[in-house]
């Protein structure tokens, strides 16, 4: 096996620690060791391992506390952690699972089982890292175009206003500058939301006792406040029942904004967009319906960041973050997010939200 992967072993038993180190070095891994979680944290930052093998019961800092510290730091949170534990220690096994351990090796263990677990976790991490790097490349290439596009009128028109004497002409240019500024703000705001979802998804998770009251006036007032939507309110038809739902107002506003913007953007100016909200036995359902370009079945299954949909993807403005944001926030709030295309004529985006009672 050819490998340059770095593995950190955290184990307070000196003999076991050295045996694992020797076995892994024989498999061409680069290995570092630590005798407890406290030293392990230091080694994580200095050694930067690709994978960690950790005992659970250790002095000074046990494996659970160590894992909590690793996950707390976004720079190390993606490192796979394999716990070493006794076969009869079910309580520790469950606790490790809840904290996010990637696998468990039961003592005493077979070296082949350990090697197999390491290889599986490293392959998953490699695939995850590849996807992340591809996304990073996509965002850098798209940011250049999508942030520069609204910026150019701001810079260009603002530089010539001083040379104009016609007040009406100045007002027209000021309107273009303002509109471009709103577009730029909207795209930067979307990037910041997505970045926050990546770094600290807890900020968007469902709060236990949260209650948000909604009705037509609440929804209409919010959409009027959104620059990308307010100018096209004439295209929107509402049918909103009052209800109380389990999602905070901020998260609801983010996902509704993204879905309504998409419907307006990808459907003809002559077509209406319908927003329906109604109560069922256990859920409140939002439906955003349009006659836009729609989605292919494989696109619906593979919603991800920086992916645009439909036939005309190249010329469409935006970073392709909207649906990824909707999907992620929905998952964090126990909301079912569904997209359906009917008879190749209209698309329904549904948010199925638990009621408070």
Contact 239, 274 (CB under 8 A): yes
For residue 54, pLDDT beyond 80: yes
How far is the CA of 222 from the CAs of 160, 233, 249, 256, 274, in angstroms? 35, 11, 10, 10, 16
Shared domain check, 79 and 187: no
Judge whether 177 lies within some domain: yes
Its sign, for the CA torsion 294, 297, 298, 302, is positive
For residue 68, pLDDT beyond 80: yes
**Token pair listed for 239:** 């049918």
Give the pLDDT of residue 295.
Answer: 60
By the 10 Å C-beta count (0-12 exposed, 13-18 middle, 19+ buried), 120 is classed as: middle
Query: Stretch 277-300: mean pLDDT, rounded?
Result: 80
Shared domain check, 289 and 231: yes
Shared domain check, 223 and 169: no
Judge whether 150 lies within some domain: yes
How far is the CA of 276 from the CAs of 43, 83, 266, 316, 344, in angstroms? 54, 49, 19, 27, 20
CB atoms within 10 A of CB 164: 13
Q: How many domains does the chain have?
A: 3
Q: Which of 109, 142, 157 is the last residue of a domain?
A: 109
Task: Give Cβ neighbours of residue 32 (< 8 Å, ≥ 6 apart).
Answer: 6, 7, 8, 9, 43, 47, 49
For residue 220, pLDDT beyond 50: yes
Query: Stretch 310-331: mean pLDDT, rounded?
Result: 65
- CATH code at 42? 3.40.50.2300
Q: Which of 150, 179, 199 is the last residue of a domain?
A: 199
Judge whether 129 lies within some domain: no
Judge whether 128 lies within some domain: no
For residue 96, pLDDT beyond 90: no
Query: Stretch 101-109: mean pLDDT, rounded?
Result: 81
- CATH code at 154? 1.10.287
In this prediction, residue 356 has a pLDDT band, given cuts at 50, 70 and 90, of confident
Judge whether 51 lies within some domain: yes
Q: Are strands 51-55 and 6-10 parallel, antiparallel or unpaired?
A: parallel
Shared domain check, 291 and 271: yes
Judge whether 173 lies within some domain: yes
Query: Stretch 286-300: mean pLDDT, rounded?
Result: 72
Give the pLDDT of residue 147.
Answer: 75
Structural domain boundaries, residue 101: 6-109
Shared domain check, 308 and 187: no
The helix/strand count (H/E) of the chain reads as 11, 12
Q: Which residue has the higher pLDDT, 49 or 206?
A: 49
Shared domain check, 209 and 195: no
**Token pair listed for 142:** 């798209």
According to DSSP, the residues that pair with 104 across neighbouring strands are 83
Shared domain check, 218 and 194: no
Quote the mean pLDDT of the chain: 82
Shared domain check, 211 and 174: no
Give the pLDDT of residue 311.
Answer: 37
Q: Which of 149, 177, 199 is the last residue of a domain?
A: 199
Shared domain check, 86 and 38: yes
- CATH code at 290? 3.30.565.10
Element (H, E) at 229: helix 227-230
Shared domain check, 192 and 92: no
In this prediction, residue 33 has a pLDDT band, given cuts at 50, 70 and 90, of very high
Enter the pTM of the model. Answer: 0.59
Q: Which residue has the higher pLDDT, 245 or 85?
A: 245
Q: What is the pLDDT of residues 180-209, one digit of tens each?
A: 888 888 888 888 888 888 777 788 887 777
Please tell me the least confidently modeled range out of 90-94, 152-156, 321-325. Answer: 90-94
Judge whether 126 lies within some domain: no
Please tell me the least confidently modeled range out of 87-91, 108-112, 137-141, 295-299. Answer: 295-299
Give the pLDDT of residue 217.
Answer: 92
Shared domain check, 180 and 219: no
Judge whether 120 lies within some domain: no
Shared domain check, 141 and 254: no
């Amino acid at each position: 096996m050819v490998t340059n992967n770095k593995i950190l072993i955290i184990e307070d038993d000196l003999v076991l620690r050295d045996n694992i180190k020797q076995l892994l070095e024989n498999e061409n891994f680069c290995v570092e060791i630590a005798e407890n979680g406290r030293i392990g944290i230091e080694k994580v930052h200095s050694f930067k391992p690709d994978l960690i093998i950790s005992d659970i019961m250790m002095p000074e800092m046990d494996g659970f506390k160590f894992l909590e510290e690793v996950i707390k730091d976004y720079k190390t949170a993606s490192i796979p952690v394999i716990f070493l534990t006794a076969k009869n220690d079910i309580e520790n096994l469950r606790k490790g699972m809840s904290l996010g351990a990637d696998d468990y090796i039961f003592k005493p263990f077979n070296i082949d089982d350990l090697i197999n677990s390491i290889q599986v976790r490293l392959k998953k991490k490699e695939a995850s890292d590849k996807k992340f790097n591809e996304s990073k490349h996509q965002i850098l290439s798209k940011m250049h175009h999508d942030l520069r596009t609204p910026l150019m009128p701001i810079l260009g028109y603002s530089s010539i206003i001083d040379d104009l004497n016609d007040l009406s002409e100045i007002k027209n240019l000021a309107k273009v500058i303002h509109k471009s500024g709103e577009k730029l703000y909207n795209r930067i705001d979307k990037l910041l939301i997505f970045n926050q979802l990546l770094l600290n998804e807890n900020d968007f998770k469902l709060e236990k006792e949260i209650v948000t009251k909604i009705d037509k006036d609440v929804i209409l007032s919010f959409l009027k406040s959104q620059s990308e939507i307010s100018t096209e309110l004439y295209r929107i038809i509402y049918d909103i029942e009052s209800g109380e739902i389990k999602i905070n107002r901020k998260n609801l506003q983010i996902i509704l904004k993204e879905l309504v913007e998409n419907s307006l953007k990808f459907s003809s100016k002559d077509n209406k967009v319908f927003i329906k909200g109604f109560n069922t036995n256990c859920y409140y359902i939002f439906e955003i319906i349009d006659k836009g370009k729609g989605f292919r079945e494989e696109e619906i299954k593979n919603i991800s960041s920086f992916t645009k949909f439909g036939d005309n993807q190249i010329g469409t403005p935006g970073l392709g973050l909207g649906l990824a944001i909707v999907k992620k926030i929905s998952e964090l709030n126990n909301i079912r997010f569904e997209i359906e295309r009917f008879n190749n004529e209209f698309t329904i985006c549904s948010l199925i939200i638990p009621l408070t009672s």
